[in-house]
């Protein structure tokens, strides 16, 4: 306990040094824009504990964690100003922690990887001759002929603005209105429409099973957005050509939202500086306050993948608005997360979604629920593992790219409030996966994926996603369950009912409505249906009263230990998240 207290004091002193250094050099533009990325590999528990503490208190410093600490022997990548390296190096030396610089000048790398194409977004890309000659050569060598089959043209192998992306979706709807339709699920804090595209044949049929795919919930993860757009192009351009994809679209409805967080995405495109390019959160309301050293600080934005109503605010998130993993002041406090919730729970979609796939970068992981704590799984984890293994193998078969498979808590780090866990637990989706795309853990590029890898990333990921779609398609072939209902003691009529549970039942057995053996000697009497209905209503009224009394007499206690902390952060949380708080914080919210 004393050791942990001293460690926190030591880290607080470090943050004071880092913040003062940052303030002093802010006047020099050239110095302040020089960022580096360092890599640490903790070897012992105490080193991991120190790095974890740095991670959870990083809002006090200029440390931007590209990859969070996950365990002993697992790499941790941190972006920081070059001016604070000396202070941090001394701190690490005192704690026997070694590090190496993996990116010496982040801004230079941003410009090399993304600077020129961004200038020409929306213009004639032939002006960027050097890069385009490479890309044109690569495109000729690639076998993605379907990339030019689509009548709606999009420059794959590059990053584009949100407006360009939406214009392309609108073009698809124009050229392929029989199978494609653009939809809006909500508006962002800055007023942008969050748009997606529905793909299915016929497009207006709503009683089909659904595949949901989204990307770009974290602003800086550009490669995930490109990959979602690649999926859209595959479906559109291959319809009527690839028999399997044609069957997908004829049988299922696809809902794809390529940019969940358009405000954050556009902000990350607004400047070449690392602070802007590696922005993670949305662009929510700015809050100003005095920090522990009585300096004025202003921060904004919420980590949208910590804002869903699944063990919200408990693990792997922060209550500090300046943190990269700030979970917001209540579940679904943000318009972007509410938009996803409302769409998935709408009459159009609820109960019909068989797969939920959300795309992220980076680390090459295929993740299934649950992520809020280690060794926590849904009841059908074997199904998720089986399909996940097949998908990971399919990805590897394309280019040899290896993905790790498991829950986020077990192979990454525990975090609550994620969209994937919510989709599984609250929206009732069968196949739920969060994909961390290229690059791998041992590559140094991080979020700055070389554009020459964008199309290969889309291609290999699509191979894995098709495995999930195939699993959904197989489930469509389950035959209806025959339930013979005994109408009277000597006449039986078989009535075919289609089970509302879409996936294969583990077992089914016929049942008869005859009396048990010990009552067969009693004579059967005609049923008085009016009397029977009145009796049922009476019994229901009695049971409801009994349940109400039991509810009132039960012990009034909270389920979650975090209730008072949530109320302290947001005094109105009992009202703004009433359903969740009734389940978790019945005592603290005075519901009983």
List, by residue number, the catalytic residues: 436
Residue 232: how many other CB atoms lie within 10 Å:
24
SS (H, E, C) 331-344: CCCCHHHHHHHHHH
CA distance 155 to 555: 62
Question: Based on the number of CB atoms within 10 Å of its own CB, is 526 exposed (0-12), middle (13-18) or buried (19 or more)?
Answer: exposed
88 token code pair? 């941090």
Q: Is residue 301 a contact partner of residue 402, using CB atoms and an 8 Å limit?
A: no
CA-closest candidate to residue 366, choices 383, 386, 396, 391: 391
Instruction: Quickly list DSSP for 287-312.
Output: EEEE-TTS-EEEE----GGG-SSSST
Strands of the sheet with 209-215, listed across from one edge: 180-187, 193-199, 252-257, 209-215, 353-363, 431-440, 365-368, 404-407
Question: Based on the number of CB atoms within 10 Å of its own CB, is 271 exposed (0-12), middle (13-18) or buried (19 or more)?
Answer: middle
For residue 240, which phi and psi values (nearest 5 degrees)?
A: 85, -5
> CA dist 1 to 5, 8, 188, Å?
6, 11, 44
CA distance 468 to 356: 10
CA distance 75 to 443: 11
CA distance 488 to 381: 42
Radius of gyration of the chain (CA): 27
290-321 core/surface letters (b: 16 or more CB in 10 A; e: else): eeeeeeeeebbbbbbbbbbbbbbbbbbbbbbb
User: Residue 550: enclosing H or E segment and its boundaries?
Assistant: helix 529-553
Distance of CA 266 to the CA centre of its chain: 19
> CA dist 566 to 312, 322, 589, Å?
9, 17, 10
Query: What 3-state DSSP class applies to 379?
Result: coil
Query: What 3-state DSSP class applies to 443?
Result: coil
Residue partners of 339: CB distance under 8 A and separation at least 6: 185, 186, 187, 194
Four-residue CA torsion sign, 380, 386, 391, 392: positive
**Assign residue 216 a region: left if phi > 0, alpha if psi is -120 to 50, beta otherwise?**
left
CA distance 105 to 272: 12
């Amino acid at each position: 306990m004393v050791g942990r207290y001293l460690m926190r004091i030591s880290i607080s002193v470090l943050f004071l040094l880092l913040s003062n250094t940052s303030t002093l050099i802010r006047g020099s533009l050239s110095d302040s824009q020089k960022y580096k990325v360092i890599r640490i590999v903790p070897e012992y528990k105490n080193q991991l504990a120190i790095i974890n503490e740095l991670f959870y208190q990083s809002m006090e410093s200029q440390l931007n964690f590209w990859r969070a600490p996950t365990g002993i022997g697992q790499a941790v990548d941190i972006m920081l100003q070059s001016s604070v390296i000396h202070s941090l190096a001394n701190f690490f030396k005192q704690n026997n922690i070694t590090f190496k610089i993996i990116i010496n000048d982040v801004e230079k790398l941003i410009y090399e990887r993304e600077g020129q194409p961004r200038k020409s977004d929306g213009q004639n890309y032939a002006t960027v001759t050097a890069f385009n000659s490479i890309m044109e050569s690569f495109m000729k060598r690639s076998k993605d002929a379907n990339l030019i089959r689509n009548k709606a043209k999009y420059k794959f192998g590059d990053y584009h603005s949100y407006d360009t992306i939406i214009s392309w979706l609108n073009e698809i709807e124009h050229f392929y209105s029989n199978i494609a339709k653009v939809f809006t699920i909500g508006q962002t804090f800055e007023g942008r429409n969050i748009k997606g595209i529905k793909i299915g044949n016929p497009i207006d049929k709503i009683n089909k099973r659904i595949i949901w795919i989204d990307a770009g919930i974290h602003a800086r993860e550009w490669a995930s957005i490109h990959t979602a757009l690649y999926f859209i192009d595959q479906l559109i351009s291959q319809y009527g050509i690839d028999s399997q994809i044609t069957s997908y679209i004829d049988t299922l409805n696809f809902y794809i939202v390529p940019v969940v967080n358009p405000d954050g995405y556009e902000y990350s495109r607004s400047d070449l500086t690392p602070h802007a390019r590696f922005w993670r959160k949305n662009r929510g309301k700015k809050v100003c306050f005095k920090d522990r050293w009585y300096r004025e600080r202003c921060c904004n934005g919420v980590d949208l993948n910590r804002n869903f109503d699944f063990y919200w605010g408990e693990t792997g998130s922060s209550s500090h608005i300046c943190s990269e993993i700030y979970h917001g002041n209540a579940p679904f406090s943000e318009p972007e997360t509410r938009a996803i919730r409302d769409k998935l729970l709408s009459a159009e979609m609820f109960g019909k979604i068989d797969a939920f796939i959300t795309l992220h970068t980076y680390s090459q992981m295929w993740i299934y629920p649950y992520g809020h704590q280690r060794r926590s799984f849904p009841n059908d984890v074997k199904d998720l593992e089986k399909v996940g293994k097949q998908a990971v193998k399919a990805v590897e078969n394309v280019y040899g790219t290896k993905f790790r498979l498991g829950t986020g808590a077990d192979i990454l780090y525990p975090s609550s409030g994620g969209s994937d866990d919510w989709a599984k637990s609250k929206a009732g989706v069968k196949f739920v996966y969060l994909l961390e795309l290229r690059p791998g853990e041992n590559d140094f590029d991080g979020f700055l994926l070389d554009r020459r890898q964008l199309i290969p990333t889309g291609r290999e990921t699509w191979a894995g996603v098709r495995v999930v779609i195939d699993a959904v398609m197989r489930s469509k072939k389950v035959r209806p369950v025959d339930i013979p209902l005994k109408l009277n003691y000597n006449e039986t009529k078989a009535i075919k009912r289609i089970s509302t549970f879409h996936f294969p039942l583990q077992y089914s057995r016929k049942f008869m409505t005859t009396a048990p053996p010990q009552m067969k000697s009693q004579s059967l009497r005609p049923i008085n249906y009016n009397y029977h209905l009145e009796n049922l209503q009476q019994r229901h009224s009695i049971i409801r009263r009994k349940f109400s009394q039991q509810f009132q007499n039960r012990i009034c206690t909270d389920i979650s230990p975090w209730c008072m902390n949530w109320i302290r952060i947001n005094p109105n949380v009992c009202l703004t998240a009433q359903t969740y708080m009734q389940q978790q914080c019945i005592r603290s919210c005075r519901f009983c």
